[in-house]
Amino acid sequence: MQFGIFTVGDVTTDPTNGTTPTEHERIKAMTTIALKAEEVGLDVFATGEHHNPPFVPSSPTTMLGWIAARTERIILSTATTLITTNDPVKIAEDYAMLQHLADGRVDLMTGRGNTGPVYPWFGKDIRDGISLALENYALLRRLWRQDVVDWEGKFRTPLQGFTATPRPLDGVPPFVWHGSIRSPEVAEQAAYYGDGFFANNIFWPKEHFMRLIELYRQRFAHYGHGTAEQAIVGLGGQVFMRKNSQDAVREFRPYFDNAPVYGHGPSLEEFTERTPLTVGSPQQVIERTLSFRESFGDYQRQLFLMDHAGLPLKTVLEQLDILGEEVVPVLRREFAALRPAGVPDAPTHRSLVARRDAGGDRPAAS
């Protein structure tokens, strides 16, 4: 099972002292956090893609390329690539280039995004969001899997005899996760292609995500990619830890209360009861994360959001030390002991190449 962190790259005022990092400071902090994630033994670092304040990660491949040059092991991912407003030709070329630079340590999480004004900024209509996601991803797959593409669709100019360069490393495209908060159509899309489904369950009650994941599992099996239990599922999460749970709650409360996403809404206690947010001791985080399996079944990737809401860099690095030293080793052991033999690991570039070479690669869906 893969464990890692994802960042949304928000520039938020620290409510405890009124200081606000500059964009430069926040970007440099994100790269420091990524290097720390590898240092403490995590498997994945993922960055979001945003084109509006107060967020800064508008160019994930630039950031991940910088991180790739300074790391050796950690998988570099997006924690959403906007499949709706980005040109699939540019996605195909940018992430194939990144894949080469990172020696295969790259995968992609696609999503529609949750900021409505982004669509017209890039010449799109939000009312076409689902259709854009379906058409653009179908083209992206072809660009990665066919050396010469002839294509015509609704939302971009046709392609005639087009070859995306560079070609994917070893002829194997990055593994794709389809990220979703609310859309059953995205779960269906992930199942159709046999890709991964990442339910970023950080905002809504678990019952909503249980339905999405169950739909994905059933349709994954329907399309012949394996049993429902073999579907590739990832989950989000948020944690803040101190040795004593009372200290964690006291320290995190002002950040929660003033967070740009969920501040000034439900109380910290209400939010932790209804969502995966866990504020407490390392043992509480371990117990809460292990309980996800009871709701969602065996899954392959767990990403935590830890550097948001104005938390200072020093505090985030302390959190990563706790996560890597006290929490993830226990989670690895416990999840491995609970997982049935037939449930696969999350795909990596190495495993995908090995499957292809063994003749076990699934045919690409049209």
pLDDT in tens, 101-158: 999 999 999 988 767 788 888 888 888 889 999 999 999 999 999 999 999 999 999 9
User: Taking the C-alpha atoms of 317, 4, 108 and 48 in order, what is their torsion angle to the nearest 10 degrees?
Assistant: -40
Mean pLDDT of the 219-232 span: 97
Name the nearest CA neighbour of 236 among 174, 166, 308: 308
- pLDDT value, residue 259: 86
Q: What are phi and psi of 268, to 5 degrees?
A: -55, -40
User: For strand 81-82 and strand 159-162, is the pairing parallel, antiparallel, or unpaired?
Assistant: unpaired
- pLDDT value, residue 283: 98
Least confident of 52-61, 164-173, 260-269: 260-269
Q: Which two tokens stand for residue 196?
A: 């991964």
pLDDT surpasses 90 at 284? yes
Mean pLDDT of the 61-82 span: 96
Query: Using H for helix, E for strand and C for coil, what is the string for 225-294?
Result: CCCHHHCCEEECCEEEECCCHHHHHHHHHHHHHCCCCCCCCCCHHHHHHHCCCEEECHHHHHHHHHHHHH
Mean pLDDT of the 166-185 span: 93
Mean pLDDT of the 346-364 span: 83
Report in angstroms the alpha-carbon separations of 26 from 20, 21, 57, 84. Answer: 9, 6, 10, 26
Q: Is 97 exposed, middle or buried (0-12, 13-18, 19+ CB in 10 A)?
A: middle
Mean pLDDT of the 315-339 span: 98
Mean pLDDT of the 251-271 span: 89
- pLDDT value, residue 114: 66
pLDDT surpasses 80 at 204? no
pLDDT surpasses 70 at 366? no
DSSP letter (8 states) at residue 340: -
Beta-carbon neighbour count of residue 109 at 10 Å? 27
CA–CA dist 220, 73 (Å, integer): 30
CA–CA dist 26, 57 (Å, integer): 10
User: For strand 175-180 and strand 196-199, is the pairing parallel, antiparallel, or unpaired?
Assistant: parallel
CA–CA dist 263, 256 (Å, integer): 6
Instruction: Label residues 277-296 b or e (16+ Cβ within 10 Å = b).
Output: bbbbbbebbbebbeebeeeb
Residue-wise pLDDT for 10-69, tens only, equals 999 999 999 999 999 999 999 999 999 999 999 999 999 888 889 999 999 999 999 999
Mean pLDDT of the 68-94 span: 95
Mean pLDDT of the 305-315 span: 96
- pLDDT value, residue 361: 59
Mean pLDDT of the 171-200 span: 93
The beta strands (E) that lie in the chain are given as 2-7, 44-47, 75-78, 81-82, 107-111, 149-151, 159-162, 175-180, 196-199, 233-235, 239-241, 278-280, 301-305
pLDDT surpasses 60 at 365? no
Mean pLDDT of the 79-104 span: 95
pTM above 0.85, yes or no: yes
- pLDDT value, residue 180: 81
